[in-house]
Amino acid sequence: MVSPTAQQATTCRHEEVTLSSLSKKPTTKEKFGDLISLLSTSTGLNHGQLAARMGMSGKTLTRYRQHPPPSWRGHDIVQRLHGIDPAVHARVAASLDVPAPMAEPSPSEPAAPSITEAIRSAVLHAADQLDITPSTVRVTGRILLEAMLAAGIDVATGRDALLASQPRAATRIGRARLS
∠ at Cα 150 (145, 153), nearest 5°?
70
Percent helix, strand and coil across the chain, each rounded to 5?
A: 55, 5, 40
Whole-number percent of the chain with pLDDT over 90: 11
Amino acid identity of 66? Q
DSSP string of 33-60, one letter each residue: HHHHHHHHHHHT--HHHHHHHTTS-HHH
3-7: average pLDDT: 39
User: For 79-102, how does the pLDDT look when each residue is reduced to its tens digit (9 = 90+)?
Assistant: 888 888 888 888 888 888 888 665
DSSP 17: E
Top pLDDT among 112 and 156 is at: 156
Instruction: Tell me what pLDDT residue 146 has.
Output: 92
Top pLDDT among 72 and 53 is at: 53
48-69: average pLDDT: 88
pLDDT above 80 (res 169): no
Query: Contact 123/76 with Cβ under 8 angstroms?
Result: no
Domain ranges in the chain are: 10-95, 115-170
Amino acid identity of 125? H
pLDDT above 80 (res 109): no
pTM of the model: 0.46
Domain 10-95, CATH:
1.10.260
pLDDT above 70 (res 50): yes
Q: How confident is the model at residue 136 (pLDDT cuts 50, 70, 90)?
A: very high
Q: How confident is the model at residue 4 (pLDDT cuts 50, 70, 90)?
A: very low
